[in-house]
Amino acid sequence: MAAVPGLQPVLAELDRRYRSLTPRERDVMKLVVAGRLNKQIAAELGTSEITVKVHRAHVMQTMKAGSLAELVRFVERLGPASGADSPTSPTSVAAARQGRSTRGSPT
């Protein structure tokens, strides 16, 4: 498949934004794009729902995502090489439906 002109700088910028997130913000982002509720994320990460909301807001701001749908598209564009799990991978979707994380599960 031929490279789309202008796409590489866009991906580089998304990667730069992603890498500027803290590890905890990355954890929150992965769970958010997998469809988890703030309350579920808080329980899994052992923190308060308010803290999750703060992290989520910072993720949206840092990634420059105007909506959750846009954040999901950004993560899909970043792909697995960035460490951002694709929220639409079969493993992620099944895990979200069952209320569990995909961390440590085989792909």
Neighbours of 76 (CB within 10 A): 14
- Name 105's Cβ contacts closer than 8 Å, sequence gap at least 6: 91, 95
Give the pLDDT of residue 106: 41
User: Average pLDDT of 49-69?
Assistant: 97
SS3 assignment, position 65: coil
* pLDDT at 57 exceeding the cut of 80: yes
Tokens of 85: 């799990």
pLDDT score of 37: 97
Q: Read off the pLDDT of residues 4-27 as tens digits, 9 standing for 90 and up.
A: 566 688 899 999 999 999 999 999
pTM of the model: 0.71
Tokens encoding 29: 């982002």
